[in-house]
Structures are given as C-alpha cells and as structure tokens.
Amino acid sequence: MSGDNPRLIQARRGFSVFYRGKSLLSNIDPITQAERSVDNLSIKDRTLYLCPSPLLGYGLKRLLDLMAKNAPNSALLCIESDEQLLKLSQDNFDAELSGDKRLRLTGITEKAALCAFVRRTWGKRYFRRVEPVRLGGGWRLFQELYDSLEDTLRREIALDWGNALTLTKLGRLYIRNALRNLSLLPRYPSLANLSFGGDPVLVLGAGPSLDTLLDGLFRRFGGRLEKTARPFRIICADTCLEALRARNIRPDLVVILESQHWNLRDFIGLGDWSIPAAVDLSALPASAALPGI
C-alpha cells in the first residue's frame, strides 16, 4: 500500500490516473487507447476475460458490446489488489457497467477465494478458457500477483473439465468398485476410529517435490525417522510408497484411491512392512487384499 492517493489528470479525452509516481493511463487519449486494445482481442464464447486493475473502466463497455454479439456466454472479471485503486474503480464505473451481470469487480486476490468466487458467481465448468485484458498500466504495479491469479484460474478451469471427463470415462468403474467394496466394510474398522492423538501429521502426495522433501527430512531427522522414533505421523498416497521404501521411511497410513490396476505396482517390494490403509470406496477392491495392507 502507498500513502498517496490516486489523482485524476485531465487528458485530451477522458482522464489519466497518476499514482505511486506513475501515469497508469495515457495522458493523451486513454479511452481510445483502451478501446483499441479491446478491438485487438480474440472474442470467444465460454471465455472468462480477466482484467487486472481496470482503473476507470475505459474499454470495458466496448468489450461487453463485442461479447454480446459474438460471445453471449462469456463474462468479464475485473480484479484490483490495491485498496485505493479498487475504490477508484468502484467510484468511476458508471451504472451501466456496475449493473451488467456479465461483469464483476472484486478485490479478492487470495487464490482459493478467487476460484470459489468464480464458481459461486458463474458455476462450475461454465468457462473453457481464461483470456487476459490489460487496458492500462495499473496491472504492472502487481504484475507477479496478477499473472499468478491468471494461471490459477486457468488451472482450475482445466482441472474442473478434466475431472468431469474422468468421471464420464470411469463413472461405471467407480460404481462397480463401490458396490464390491461395500461388501468388504464389515471386515475392516471404520476410518472414524483412526486417531494419532496430539501428534502432528505430515501428508505426502506424489508430486515432483516429493524426493526433495524426503531427502530434506532424512537430513533433518536421520535415524529418528523410524516409525516409533519420529515426532510426527505420516499419511501418504499409495504412489509415494516406492520413494518412502527406498529411504526406509515407513508411513503410519497409506491412502488408496486408484480405481484401476495401475497402482498395484506401488506395493511391490514392501517386504515385511505392514501398513494400515484407508481405501476409497471407488478404489480397486483388490487393493484391500494386498500383502502388508
């Protein structure tokens, strides 16, 4: 945050914004400049247009008009991370902009909260893509943040569609596995009985940083990573087992989620290990009968 306030400076057409020692809009014709930027955009349906730091809203009406003609199911999300610039936008968006249901102006910059806001406003899998709309220089004040939010929204949309596609392809298998696993429930204790007391729990997934993390743990704790000696518990995905076994780090619980047979290889070479497992209802039923589980 900065102690100075944004100042409006009369331009030949419209106003420029001076803030933090910089002119954030053209000092000559910021309106025409913003509209030209909009005219260069690719207008596609089912697109979330992301406008970081919209300032006075120049160009947004032009974009909404183009969306109405060519992309009726698209929407415009304006984000401002600076409180003073956010107030500037709120005060200068006219009633037509503020009342357009396709447009939202927000100061939310926390990633999970922003994704939740988009889902809550437009629903899941409403958009197929995210396109940036930069109509001034305000976004450069927090470029890294805005780029990160854009990337997060892209990933979230791709994940939603990927999950839907997976469910479409594997839905019948999930149901078949669930029906078989239901018959196994009386043989095993409920996950509700699981308790590690007050011990902290480290949860491991099989991402690209797993090996680096485990090597760091080994350097930090050494022999104290034995199950009975370490000061914390370990819950891991089944795909972590090979990396853990290579370092002789025995987890306290393994979570089995895979509905197909691909994960069975993760249990090869466990030797004399005996590991409690939490098996998802849709997981491959044979997983519950593996040696050591």
Would you say residue 36 has pLDDT above 80? Answer: yes
Q: Are residues 129 and 210 in the same domain?
A: no
| Cα 53 to Cα 31: distance, rounded to the nearest angstrom | 15
Share of the chain above pLDDT 90, in %: 57
Domain count, the chain: 2
Check residue 117 and give its pLDDT. 97
**What angle is formed at CA 49 by the lines to CA 45 and CA 51, rounded to 5 degrees?**
165
Q: Are residues 16 and 155 in the same domain?
A: yes
**217 found inside a domain:** yes
Q: 21-25, 52-56, 138-142, 218-222 — which is least confidently predicted?
A: 218-222
Would you say residue 166 has pLDDT above 60? Answer: yes
| 199-251 per-position pLDDT tens digit | 899 999 988 889 899 888 888 887 778 877 888 999 999 888 888 888 888 89
Q: Which domain holds residue 226?
A: 183-289
Mean pLDDT in residue range 74-103: 96
Would you say residue 50 has pLDDT above 60? Answer: yes
Q: Are residues 81 and 209 in the same domain?
A: no
The per-residue pLDDT of the chain, averaged, comes to 89
**21 found inside a domain:** yes
Mean pLDDT in residue range 123-148: 95
Mean pLDDT in residue range 124-131: 93
At 131, which CATH number?
A: 3.40.50
Mean pLDDT in residue range 56-67: 97
Give the tokens for residue 292: 């050591």
Q: Are residues 29 and 101 in the same domain?
A: yes
Would you say residue 291 has pLDDT above 80? Answer: no
Give the tokens for residue 150: 């854009």
| Cα 125 to Cα 165: distance, rounded to the nearest angstrom | 11
Q: Are residues 189 and 76 in the same domain?
A: no
| Cα 121 to Cα 123: distance, rounded to the nearest angstrom | 6
- CA 185, distance to chain mean position in Å, is 34
Greatest C-alpha distance within the chain: 80
**66 found inside a domain:** yes
Read off the DSSP letter of residue 94: -
Question: Could you tell me the pLDDT band of residue 261, with boundaries at 50, 70 and 90?
Answer: confident
Q: 4-8, 96-100, 175-179, 195-199 — which is least confidently predicted?
A: 195-199
- Is the model more confident about 103 or about 240? 103
Q: What is the pTM of this model?
A: 0.64
251 phi, psi to nearest 5 deg: -75, 165
**34 found inside a domain:** yes
Q: Are residues 154 and 205 in the same domain?
A: no
| 136-154 per-position pLDDT tens digit | 999 999 999 999 999 999 9
Question: Could you tell me the pLDDT band of residue 70, with boundaries at 50, 70 and 90?
Answer: very high
Check residue 1 and give its pLDDT. 41
- CA 8, distance to chain mean position in Å, is 36
**178 found inside a domain:** no
Check residue 157 and give its pLDDT. 93
Antiparallel, parallel or unpaired: β 15-19 and 7-10: antiparallel
